[in-house]
Amino acid sequence: MTRIASVKPHPISVPLNDPVWTAHEELTSSSVIVVEVRTDDGLTGYGQIHGSPMKAICAWVERFGEIVRGMDALAHVAVWDRLFSLTCPRPGGIAGADGLPPPLPRGERPQIMAAIGGIDIALWDIKGKHAGLPVWRVLGGEPRPIPTYATGGYYRPGAPDKVYAEELAGFVQAGYRAVKLKTGAGSPADEARRVRTVREAIGKDISLMLDMNAPYDVDGCIEFARRVEPLDIYWLEEPLHWYLQPADFVRLAAAPRYPSRTASASSPASRCATSSPPARSAMCSSTARALRVSPRACASPRWPSSTRS
C-alpha cells in the first residue's frame, strides 16, 4: 500500500514592483502555496493553492499532515472525508472520542478548506504518477484543446485607459483569443469607456470578459449592461452587489432583456454556495432573465476554436 509519509507546505510570495487593485482590494504581491505530499514508496505529489493569511493556511496544512500520515495515499476520498469531518459537528467530536481533534473553528473555514484542497490536489498528482498516467486520463478525460484566456487590467491609480488596452492587446499578440478585464472600480459610464478602449485595441474577433467584483446595485448593473451591449461582451462576472434585497430581485426580473450575446453573469452562480435557498433561487433567476444568462455560456460556439491549448 502506498502510504502518506509527509505533508509540507511551501509558501511563495513575490512582491510586485507596482501594487495594483481589483475593484475590491489592493494586491502588493503575487503569491501561491505549493503543498508537497510524499509517500513511503518514493512518490511525490504537488498541490497548488491560493489564499490568505498564508501563514495560517500553511499551519493547517502541517496540522492536517499529521492527521493523515500513514493513510493510503491513493484513497483520496477517505483522506478528504477524514479532514472534512473536522469542519462539522459529529457525535463525540467535542470529546475527541474518535481520536480526531474537536470541530474546527468556523472563523477559519476559508484557510482550512484551502489546506484540505492543497492536500487533495497533491494526492491526485500521486494517483496519476502511481498509475503512470496524466491526471486528466485518470479522471476519464480525452486529449483535446482546452480554451484558455489571460486576465489583466488590474487597476493602477492614475493610469489612462490606453494602458489597460495595450496590456490586453499584448495578450492577443501572444496568441490568446480570449481575455478578461478587471472592471467595477468606476461609475458605469467611466467603466464602459474603459471597456470600449480595450475592445478597440484587441479587435472584434477576440472574446472579451469582464471581472467586476460585485460593484453595482440593480440600477447600476442595468445601466452598465446597456452601455457595454454594443461591445459584444462574452462574459460579465459578478456585476451585482452582495447585499441585494428581495425588492431588488423583483426589479431586476422586470428589467428589459438584452440580446443573448450581450453578457453572461457568473455572480449568481458564484454566490449560490453561500446564499440561502430562497435568495439563491431569486438571484439566479432574476439576473438570468435581466441579462439573458445562458447556463451553457462556456460551451458557446462563440468561444474561438483557435484558443490556446
**CATH number of 241's domain:** 3.20.20.120
303 within 8 A of 145, measured Cβ to Cβ: no
Element (H, E) at 209: strand 207-211
Residues 127, 226: one domain? Answer: no
Alpha carbon distance 254, 243 (integer Å): 19
Domain endpoint, select from 110, 138, 166: 138
pTM of the model: 0.75
Residues 66, 199: one domain? Answer: no
Residues 82, 196: one domain? Answer: no
pLDDT class of 93 with cuts at 50, 70, 90:
confident
Kindly state whether residue 306 falls inside one of the protein's structural domains: no
Residues 103, 194: one domain? Answer: no
Q: Tell me the average pLDDT across 144-170.
A: 95
| Amino acid 222: pLDDT | 84
Residues 236, 264: one domain? Answer: yes
Domain endpoint, select from 114, 138, 162: 138
Kindly state whether residue 145 falls inside one of the protein's structural domains: no
Q: Tell me the average pLDDT across 31-39.
A: 98
| Amino acid 236: pLDDT | 83
Domain range for 24:
4-138
Q: pLDDT averaged over the chain? A: 83
Burial group, residue 158, by CB count within 10 angstroms (0-12, 13-18, 19+): exposed
For the chain, the domain total comes to 2
Residues 128, 155: one domain? Answer: no
What residues form DSSP beta bridges with 45? 37
Q: What is the CATH number of the domain that holds 111?
A: 3.30.390.10
Give me 119's grid cell.
492536500
Kindly state whether residue 123 falls inside one of the protein's structural domains: yes
CB atoms within 10 A of CB 41: 11
| Amino acid 255: pLDDT | 65
